[in-house]
Structure 1
Amino acid sequence: MLFIPHDYQAYSIKWILDNPKSGLFLEMGLGKTSCTLTALNDLLFDYFDIGKVLVIAPKRVAESTWSDEIEKWNHVKDLQVSVVAGTEKQRIAALEARADIYTLGRDNVVWLVEYLQANKIKWPFDALVIDELSSFKNTKSKRFKALKKITPLLNHVIGLTGTPTPNSLIELWPQMYLLDRGERLGKTQGAYKDRYFYPVSGQGHVVYKYGLKEGAEKAIYEAIGDICVSMKSEDHLKMPERIDNFIELKLPANVMRAYKEFEKEKILEFKDDVLTAANAAVVAGKLLQFANGYVYDDEKKSHFVHNVKIEALKEIIDTSQEQSVLVFYNFKHDYEALAKEFKALKPRTIETPQDIKDWNAGKIQLLLAHPASIGHGLNIQAGGHIIVWYGLTWSLELYQQANARLYRQGQKESVIIHHLVAQGTMDEQVIKILKEKDKGQNALMSAVKARIKQHERG
């Protein structure tokens, strides 16, 4: 296929060529991969600035998306790619193969650094692409620490993401550090926090929530503006219509009574002064399980509560007239219930590149996916235009990225996103937060605190 870049894509390509350390913060669907491949092709064969490129990406993206994009576009089809995946023996063989671009799942970053060091092999790459830079937002993670070691050895570093700060601008520091070694936002995250933030709430020396100092947001963006470019799809693409459909489901009276008792029991295990993001997530998770129809006990056994969402999903599938449907679930028992109930439709999950090809070819009528497993980089918009959120997620980032698997550049149909919402349950709180684009843990804790106060009042 002939690649004719949009103006914003031509700008993005030039941005990478002009900035050895660059951040491309392009919203889902704007073609980050094709832009980056074009720039890499130029750097390899026109500028001769680089010799070998390492691409670090989510597992499935590393194993299929980059190879598929190279096959798709005529101008980069001569690029040789080696997928570093599989057993250790297979990964080593892939590293030793002759190629221009080597793609590696982010879960193997630590292995790669340790393998090369243990065998005293000189770092072989002079360019690095971090696809989904936002997945390196935790300074304590092993993969961040491993990558931090090798960034001084690179001539070019390109960070790609659509959502660099899904929860807080504090998460921007680790990502920028991997690009510029602390040149713009400071050498340590502590210094970054001291400069731009102030503590809002906490206990002792532990800070639960930070606020931005006056003028800090503008100052942060100005500090990184010389190497990072940010674009939104709504400003550059003519997208098909997106239809968000919120289906309110009424639980049977006896089930609703049981839910209220269950909620009261779980909520009152915590008081406001000991509530943390971790135990708020536990409480909210239990209530969302109940809303979906099953709950886990302390021994991780699931127990059936109701089938209201199953019945609602049946109606959606029936009225879809055999069109392909992508269903997002949240818990293992949801998947098991869906796989059993819709066995006749032969539901599939995306496990391999062949699954992606089958979906895009219209060979899968029912695709079941957890948003965390399908959220970044997969191009599956050709396979369908109907999404059902069977189980809801608190994470705005996961929600946006998951929807963008179908609602993105290349989609030719209006995208319908159904949300199954059990009335009077935690589902409603999740929808409220997603609609308001509230961000993560703070919103979750506020929702649980509100329920605590309500039950304490009786």
Structure 2
Amino acid sequence: MKYKPHNYQVYAKDFILEHPACCLMLDMGLGKTIITLSALWVLSLDTFESGKILVIAPKRVAEDTWPKELTKWEHLTGLTYSLVLGSKTQREEALRKRAMIYIINRENVKWLVDNHEWDFDTLVIDELSSFKSNQAQRFKALKKVRPKVKRIIGLTGTPAPNSLLDLWSQLYLIDMGKRLGRFIGGYRERFFMPDRRNREIIYSYKPRDGAEAAIYDLISDVCISMKAVDFLDMPEKISNVIEVSMSEKEKKQYGQLQKEMVLTLESGEVDAMNAAGLSNKLLQMANGAVYGDEHKVHYVHDKKLDALEDLIEAANGKPLLVAYWYKHDLSRISERFSTRCIDSAKDIEDWNAGKISVALIHPASAGHGLNLQDGGSTIIWFGLTWSLELYLQLNSRLWRQGQKNTVVIQHLVTKGTHDEDVIKALENKDIQQASLIEAVKARIECEP
């Protein structure tokens, strides 16, 4: 696929090339991965400034996102990679493989530092905010080898949603203490003062007056950008598809449901009524659960829940609006994460005040004129809908006049399922009953 970068992506890539140590603090969905890979291609195959590159990422991101992006874009041809994942034997074999980029999950960073002679001259840390604890083993391990790294790129969405104290360890890995100090104690004393305490025991700290501005000013030369990508023409909307894959067993169950629904039909043709019912069942199953007799819920998989967990972690406290369609989706999401439904005027008020990190909303409840743009700028579609009106209506709750940030719309799509038909129809703005019928028939006819 040909890559047609946005202006901000060109800007960010050039920023990486011009700064041997830098951090991209860009919102989710703005393309941190492709921006970084575009820069790495130049560094590896054009200017030859990078010899051996290590990418550290969350496990599922390391397994899926980085390899997909590397193979997706034409302009990245020539970049070779090796996945340092799995068992100890598999990781050791991957390290012996000749490649330009080595991708490892953050849980194995300490193992890598302790057991492998460090020979990486370029380091990329995806989700740098997961290194915010200066007491964590992963931070201590990287701190040891940081002087050996010539180039480092940190990637994160929100580096300090809870406390500016979280910035110290992240920036230390970027510049080895040049901007915020070599020790967290000095950083804390300089910019913070005790907040909650019991005599000599201090439970928390709060920034001194002017500390936030001073900290941001100190790191502004190596970071884009603390608050938002302010060089974009606002508001901009970016739409992404995040694929998840069912296991072979789950695929078999999905196919069985599809076949059984068809086999119950006498004529072999799918009429509108039956097509709608089959579409409904297939979309439920793609989400991870399906209703049976007497509205009993049958659980199938947690793949979308796992992907949602990754997105919530990547947001690092930044508000997310999650759209669900079925009640069993609502139940499963609520059981796994700390959430709140947007149902009342009070919910809307609290959302817009930034008091809700993960808000759940049903598209049918997101009526015209409902203003949610002050509370966040990211929508995650956990379950998709055939209704173009409801789809556009919900998106416009955030993507509207008055929105100060880039709106990112994430779609969780289960590969090889009816989800793909719906997202294609949404993209083509072709939501009609005929589209639904034809999509169902096409999948049935493909079955052996």
Q: TM-score, normalised by structure 1?
A: 0.59
Return the alpha-carbon distance in structure 2 between the equivalents of residues 175 and 340 of structure 1. Answer: 52
> Aligned partners of 2:377, 2:302: CA distance in 1, in Å?
14
What is aligned with 2:300? 347
Residue by residue over 1:34-61, the C-alpha shift from the partner in whole angstroms, topping out at 9 and shown as x without a partner, is 0000000001111111111100000011
The alpha carbon displacement at 1:201 in A equals 1.2
Secondary structure in structure 1 of the residue aligned to 2:204: strand
Contact 1:201 1:207 in 2 (8 A): yes
Q: How does 1:244-255 map to 2 (within 5 A)?
A: none
Q: Which amino acid aligns with 2:59?
A: K
SS in 2 for 1:390: helix
Task: Tell me the secondary structure at the aligned position of residue 237 of structure 2.
Answer: coil
- Letter of the 1:171 counterpart: D
Q: Confirm or deny: 8 A CA contact 1:2 1:75 kept in the other structure.
A: yes
The correspondence for 1:158, drawn from 153, 165, 183, is 153
Structure 2 vs 1, CA of residues 4 and 341 (structure 1 numbering), >3 Å: closer, same or farther? farther
Aligned mates of 1:371, 1:200 — CA distance in 2: 34
State yes or no: 1:393 paired with 2:338.
Answer: yes
| Alpha-carbon offset, residue 7 of structure 1 | 0.7
1: CA distance, partners of 2:138 / 2:193: 28
Structure 2 letter corresponding to 1:216: A
Q: Which residue matches 1:83?
A: 83
Deviation at 1:209, TM superposition (A): 2.2
CA distance in 1, matches of 2:165, 2:192: 8
Aligned length: 306
Q: Of 188, 191, 202, which aligns to 1:196?
A: 191
- Could you list the per-position Cα deviations for residues 125-157 of structure 1 after superposition, in whole angstroms to 9, with x for gaps in the alignment? 100000000000001111110011111001100
Q: Distance in 2 between matches of 1:186 and 1:373?
A: 31
Indicate if the aligned counterparts of 1:157 and 1:179 stay in contact, CA closer than 8 A. yes
What pairs up with 1:51-90 in 2 under 5 angstroms?
A: 51-90=51-90
Aligned residue in 2 for 1:263: none
In the alignment, does 2:84 pair up with 1:140? no
Q: Is contact 2:289-2:300 (8 Å) kept?
A: no
1:165 & 1:38 partners in 2: Cα distance? 27
Paired residue secondary structure (1:3): coil
Is the partner of 1:49 in helix, strand or coil? coil
% identity of equivalent residues: 40
Match of 1:124 in 2: 119
Does the C-alpha gap of structure 1 residues 19 and 339 become closer, same or farther in structure 2, counting only changes over 3 Å? farther
Aligned partner of 1:94 in structure 2 is: 94
Deviation for aligned residue 1:106: 0.3
User: What residue number does 1:239 align with?
Assistant: 237
Q: How far has the Cα of 1:323 moved from its partner?
A: 7.2
Contact in 2 for aligned 1:327/1:368 (Cα 8 Å) = no
CA contact (8 A) 1:326 1:386 kept: no
**TM-score, with normalisation over the residues of structure 2?**
0.60
Residue 347 (structure 1) shift: 2.7
* CA shift in 2, pair 1:147/1:368, >3 Å: same
Give 1:342 shift. Answer: 8.4
For 1:174, the equivalent position in structure 2 comes to 169
Task: Tell me which residue corresponds to 1:20.
Answer: 20
The SS at the match of 2:15 is: helix
Structure 2 distance, partners of 1:156, 1:240, is 29
Following superposition, the deviation at residue 215 of structure 1 comes to 1.1
Q: What secondary structure is seen at the aligned counterpart in 2 of 1:12?
A: helix
| Secondary structure of 2:196's aligned partner | strand
The answer on whether the counterparts of 1:23 and 1:228 sit within 8 Å (CA) in structure 2 is yes
AA of the residue aligned to 1:238? E
Query: Residues 398, 65 of structure 1: CA spacing in aligned structure 2 closer, same or farther, 3 A cutoff?
Result: farther
C-alpha distance in structure 2 between counterparts of 1:374 and 1:134, whole Å: 13
Note if contact 1:376-1:401 (Cα within 8 Å) is conserved in structure 2.
Answer: no
Distance of aligned partners of 1:93 and 1:323 in 2 relative to their CA distance in 1, 3 Å threshold: same
